[in-house]
């Protein structure tokens, strides 16, 4: 005979564990005999999914710094550009809609170095780079990995500031080849043609030397202006000595395109850098309005944004929030959840951005399924 619980509510009925074990044994026997997954109804899938719900995966640590702002500062000062590439991943879940997660890759256009990479944001032997529930967090992590690489190679200080004497911004892969180039050029120092071949790596010094030669040519007439006749007599004597110098300027000028490859890229970057602010994912309509429109198209309830003030930061306008879909079965758990967002408006916008990303992916999934059904 059941007795009431301490809270005063009637006790629940006992679970028929024997029947549950028999049910499990029947499903296991079916899979053993057929070699196929046991058939389950939607209700059975949903019940098992609740019982075997996996623990939520923690997102990698982003720290407290705004890594994207550090990268933008580097791009503006060093006249470089980057490309962000987002990657949507759907993690299958038993009895529920797949969980949408995001990964992001940052590529420097000048060097084609991409982050995260092993040693910077990834393990030495990773299967795939980390992913996040929010697209913006994935972008921050890619920027953080790139900042770590910039710090390690002397292009950026740990504080985010840039060194006063920056190093040449070159690809990390051929660094050993560029290091051996000066050693090879020192051995055949007598022939002038060899340094000319190596001039792409020494293009900045050759330009000042050309300017210095022009200044010396201007200085010689001023010194010999009292006696104009001895100048022609000295110039033939100096012609053999200046012959390699006169031949060397054409060689650097002919090799100037490879020497100015990186400046040409940077000179071509400002037009593209005007398009790089588009990486901020700004849209004409606010994310909250687009969520309302997509909710109607997807036959989903319009989410309610529930906000609570974050008590960890005293005196700060920081908020936690979650999007409430009335426990709709198609909506992933934790969709639109934010923590420590600055201002209520900012928290609501961040929640809407996360919801919008998932809705766009869900709309694309349904359209793909519909087109496949029409073709069949």
Instruction: Pinpoint the residues of the chain covered by CATH 3.30.160.20.
Output: 31-168
Side-chain-side CA neighbours of 353 within 13 Å: the count stands at 18
Angle at the Cα of 208 from the Cα atoms of 222 and 189, rounded to 5 degrees: 105
Tokens representing 126 are 């990773």
Rounded to an integer, the average pLDDT of 89-109 is 79
Q: How confident is the model at residue 47 (pLDDT cuts 50, 70, 90)?
A: confident
Strands of the 82-93 sheet, one edge to the other: 82-93, 96-108, 114-115
With b for 16 or more beta-carbon neighbours within 10 A and e for fewer, the 94-125 pattern comes to ebbbebbbbbbbbbbbbbebbbbbeebbbeee
Identify which has the larger pLDDT, 242 or 84: 84
- Percentages helix, strand, coil for the chain (3-state, rounded to 5) are 50, 15, 35
Q: Which CATH number fits domain 285-375: 3.30.160, 3.30.70, 1.20.120, 1.10.3470?
A: 3.30.160
Residues 214-231 have pLDDT tens digits of: 444 444 444 444 444 444
Say yes or no to pLDDT of 239 above 60. Answer: no
Burial class (CB in 10 A: 0-12, 13-18, 19+), 298: middle
Q: Note if the pTM is more than 0.75.
A: no
Question: Does domain 31-168 match CATH 3.30.230.10?
Answer: no
Helix (H), strand (E) at residue 305: strand 304-309
């Amino acid at each position: 005979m059941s007795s009431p619980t301490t809270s005063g509510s009637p006790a629940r009925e006992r679970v028929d564990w024997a029947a549950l074990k028999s049910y499990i044994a029947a499903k296991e026997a079916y899979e053993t005999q057929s070699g196929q997954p046991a058939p389950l109804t939607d209700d059975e899938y949903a019940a098992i999914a609740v019982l075997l719900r996996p623990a939520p995966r923690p997102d990698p640590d982003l720290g407290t710094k705004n890594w994207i702002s550090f990268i933008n500062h580097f791009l503006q000062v060093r006249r470089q550009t980057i490309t962000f590439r987002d990657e949507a991943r759907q993690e299958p879940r038993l009895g529920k809609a797949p969980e949408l997660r995001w990964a992001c890759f940052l590529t420097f256009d000048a060097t084609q170095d991409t982050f995260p990479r092993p040693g910077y944001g990834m393990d030495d032997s990773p299967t795939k780079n980390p992913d996040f529930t929010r697209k913006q967090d994935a972008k921050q992590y890619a920027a953080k990995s790139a900042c770590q690489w910039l710090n390690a190679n002397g292009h950026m200080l740990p504080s985010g500031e840039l060194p006063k004497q920056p190093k040449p911004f070159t690809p990390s892969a051929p660094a050993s080849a560029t290091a051996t180039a000066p050693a090879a050029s020192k051995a055949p120092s007598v022939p002038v043609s060899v340094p000319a071949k190596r001039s792409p790596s020494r293009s900045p010094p050759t330009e000042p030397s050309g300017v210095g030669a022009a200044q010396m040519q201007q200085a010689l007439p001023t010194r010999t202006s009292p006696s104009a006749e001895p100048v022609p007599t000295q110039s033939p004597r100096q012609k053999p000595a200046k012959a390699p110098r006169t031949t060397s300027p054409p060689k650097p000028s002919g090799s100037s395109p490879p020497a100015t490859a990186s400046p040409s890229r940077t000179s071509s970057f400002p037009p593209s850098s005007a398009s790089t602010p588009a990486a901020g994912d700004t849209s004409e309509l606010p994310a909250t309005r687009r969520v309302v429109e997509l909710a109607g198209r997807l036959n989903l309830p319009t989410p309610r944004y529930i906000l609570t003030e974050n008590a960890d930061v005293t005196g700060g306008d920081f908020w936690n929030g979650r999007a409430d879909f009335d426990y709709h079965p198609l909506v992933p758990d934790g969709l639109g959840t934010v923590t420590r967002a600055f201002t209520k408006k900012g928290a609501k916008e961040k929640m809407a951005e996360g919801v919008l990303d998932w809705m766009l992916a869900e709309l694309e999934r349904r359209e793909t399924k519909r087109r496949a059904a029409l073709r069949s």
